[in-house]
A = this chain, B = another copy of it.
Amino acid sequence: MEEVAAAHSATMDRSRSDRFLEETEGGPRTLRRSDTAVDLYHPFTKTVSPRDASEAQFDQSVYRVPHLRDLADNVGRFPSPLATAVATRSLGRSFVPETETILADIMSKKDAETVSREYLRGGPREYTAFHPKSVKAAIVTCGGLCPGINTVIRELYMTLTAMYGVEEVYGVRMGYRGFYSPELSLVRLTSDWVSDIHHRGGSVLGSSRGGFDLEMIVSAIAAYGFRHVYIIGGDGTQRGAQAIFEECCQRRMCVSVVGIPKTIDNDIAIIDNSFGFVTAVEEAQRAIRAAHVEAISGYHGIGLVRLMGRHSGYISMFATLASGDVDVCLIPEIEFDLAGDCGLLSHIERLLDTKGHCVIVVAEGAGLSQMLRDDDDADEAHDASGNVKLPNVGIWLSEEIKRHFRARGREINLKYLDPSYEIRSVPPVATDTIMCTLLAQSAVHGAMAGYTGFICGVVNTHHVMIPLREIVRKGRTRVDLSSRMWHRVLASTLQPPLRNQSPRKEHDK
């Protein structure tokens, strides 16, 4: 059976691979368990002794990235094919040393003497841990759509095949479930198949939420004999990737597990920004422009745009800054009052009085506490499974605004826009295409070099590898209300705090 044979070759079948290595490398090598026990929670910083001089120089501040040689003594060491490839002859001296790092904290305040964190720089290494012919790679995309997924898929394929000479790259269909679901067969990627996908939105492999079954997934990886597993997905998906990585370690599987973080909301810690975010901010302009045109063309026009961002307001913040036409920007990180002299409704009234119209951007996670406070029947705010079901802040807000002005007998023309899917599904802008291309190249370089359990990302404009564990540990970030960026939004919108100053009330609490 094909599957059994495949599984065999990944974990145990040394004969074929040994024979291969014998032929190409000059002698048989067996995969050996490393002597020390692997501590999965600090697997690479504590138990593993440095293997060469350069590593000894590593500061404590550097986030080490797991490497297959931490797991076994007999990991391969092949000269990178990039050194000889005709097409890249001029690349000869371009390998990134294993000790090159990028500083994370670069704002110097002079009074605080902090040691900056550092991240390992991404890029091609002089030696690879895999012989290209032995690599069978899997790519899976999970979660909601985000511009650029197809570019990542295409460039993973191109870098693996055209640069490294890998011959088998498979696409897993419809997210994690595609590893094991009988109705979803793998797609063998070919040059033709990927040739045009970077100009399309969505995910050509299909994507879905859920479907994470650790046991079935890792067994499938073993059965198919995948050596590289590239996992494109968000927060939850990367937690899954970390679990897969850990399980592969436990099983002593010679597999590089690499995450490529995907979240249109841009709320991943550490990295400058995630792919697709720039496109989302760009596309959001279209909706804001429509809201602005409706607002200025209508009698007491109000344009209200709901943008993505369940937990963080990054898209709303940047879209507001980019627009220049927004009067109020509401994000999950801020609290605001509806009623009262300093509340939102009074502010809208003042805007109608002075400018004649106004444009409001609201992130989907904004106003939660206000909505719940407002809700007479708060028990309904849970769905059948008991999860908190977020009410739609855009619809709630437009109802509240209409009610307010109706009560005052004042005519308004409110237009509500919710462009979510139109934003998610477009092909990426050039900036994101480049980022996707480089992330994918970086992922393959890292995996070929034997690194595993990491994600690729950009820190202070440089491509780095970050341990999956760090990303999982940090979780989501949120807009820092004391940051310059948020202040710039306030400066651009001229929006007041929108809180009624009632010290007594505060005191009561």
Where the two chains meet, the residues of A that have a C-beta atom closer than 8 Å to any C-beta of B are 54, 57-58, 86-91, 93-94, 96-97, 99-103, 106-111, 118, 121, 123, 145, 151, 154-155, 158-159, 162-163, 174-175, 177, 196, 198-204, 206-208, 272, 278, 281-282, 284-287, 289-291, 293-294, 296-299, 303, 318-319, 321-324, 413, 415-419, 421-422, 424-426, 429-431, 433-434, 437-438, 441, 460-463, 481-482, 484, 487-488, 490-492, 494-497
Contacts and interface: CB of A to CB of B under 8 A. Distances in A.
Contacts of A416: 421
B413 A417 contact: no
Given A100-B108, A103-B103, A107-B121, A482 B422 contact: no
A422 B417 contact: yes
B154 A324 contact: yes
B163 A94 contact: no
A202 B437 contact: no
B324 A425 contact: no
Contact of A430 (B108, B123, B322, B490): B322
A272 B461 contact: yes
Copies in the complex: 4
B290 A426 contact: yes
Contacts of A199: 289
Nearest to A54: B110
Contacts of A321: 433-434, 437-438
Nearest to A278: B431
30 contacts: A86-B496, A87-B494, A91-B490, A91-B491, A100-B107, A100-B109, A101-B107, A101-B110, A102-B106, A107-B121, A108-B118, A145-B293, A175-B299, A200-B293, A202-B294, A206-B296, A206-B299, A207-B297, A207-B298, A208-B299, A281-B431, A281-B434, A290-B422, A293-B425, A294-B425, A297-B425, A321-B433, A322-B431, A415-B421, A438-B488
Contacts of A488: 437-438, 441
B415 A291 contact: no
Given A491-B88, A495-B87, A291 B108 contact: no
A496 to B, nearest CB: 6
Contacts of A285: 430
Contact of A434 (B90, B290, B322): B322
Looking at A103, A299, A418, A424, which has the most chain B CB atoms within 10 Å of its CB?
A: A299
A431 B282 contact: yes
Contact of A490 (B87, B99, B159, B418): B87
Contacts of A57: 110-111
